Chain A
């Protein structure tokens, strides 16, 4: 069966520090991969999605970036965090376009 792992679960980082969140999927190949952010009490904002290794599409311009160095690995990064980057970050995958997306457990990031 397929599983998605996302870590860390919680993170407290000072303003201006770098960020690296990692997500891996097991039990499938060539998944679509997504990064979403959920601010407190708000909806799911799509940040990045990827349909293959090295293929990254950005939905919202910001100081975040994403990379897909391996087929089932998706990384969210920032060189310098802002206070506004605080939120709940969710990685998700789907087997192909237009089917159910499966979410990771999320990372609660607090920038202080």
Chain B
């Protein structure tokens, strides 16, 4: 089955700096890679996703890059704000599967 690894497990940045979270996956058939943000005590919510036919996708301060050859994808948050503080999860899935495989999460703290 798929194995998704996520790094780092914790990340602290100063407000206004950039944050980068990286994930690797093992199944070359995986072709959908969502990122979820989970605030304390709340449900995870999708913030951005990318499919394997695209190398990069951007939505305002958030961007995701995908390297299919190396089987890794990354979340980039620019101009971080305190409200970006949360746990972020990457995930991978494929057309022939019915489940998402999640990374272990990154706890991001943005220091004002």
Q: Quick one: CB contact mask for B18-44 with A, threshold 8 Å, 1 for yes?
A: 000000000000011010000001111
Q: Is B99 an interface residue (CB 8 A)?
A: yes
Residues of B within 8 A of A32 (CB): 98
**A44-B44 in contact (CB<8A):** yes
Would you call A43 and B105 a contact (CB within 8 A)? Answer: yes
- Tell which of B32, B93, B99, B101 has the most Cβ of chain A within 10 Å: B99
Contact with A along B83-108 (1 / 0, CB 8 A): 00000010001111111111111000
Tell me the bound Cα distance from A89 to B10 in angstroms: 22
Residues 76-106 of A contacting B (Cβ, < 8 Å): 90, 97-106
User: Are A98 and B32 in touch, CB under 8 angstroms?
Assistant: yes
Q: How many residues does chain B have at the interface if contact means C-beta atoms less than 8 Å apart? A: 25
Q: Is the CB of A57 within 8 A of B42?
A: no
Of A34, A90, A98, the residue contacting B43 (CB under 8 A) is A90
| Cα separation A97 to B31 with both chains bound (whole Å) | 11
Q: Are B101 and A46 in contact (CB under 8 A)?
A: yes
> Could you say which residues of chain B place their CB within 8 Å of the CB of A104?
43
Q: Which of B1-30 contact A (CB under 8 A)?
A: 6
A49 within 8 A of B: yes
**Cβ-defined partner of A97 (8 Å) among B46, B98, B103, B105:** B98
> Which single residue of chain A is at the shortest CB-CB distance from B6?
A43
Residues on A close to B: CB < 8 A? 32, 34, 36, 42-44, 46, 49, 51, 57, 59, 90, 97-106, 108
- In the A-B complex, list the 3 residue pairs whose CB atoms are closest, starting with the nearest: A43-B104, A103-B43, A44-B102
- Residues on B close to A: CB < 8 A? 6, 31-32, 34, 41-46, 49, 89, 93-105
12 further interface pairs, Cβ-Cβ under 8 Å (given A34-B99, A44-B105): A36-B102, A43-B6, A43-B103, A44-B44, A49-B99, A57-B98, A59-B99, A90-B43, A98-B93, A100-B46, A101-B34, A106-B43
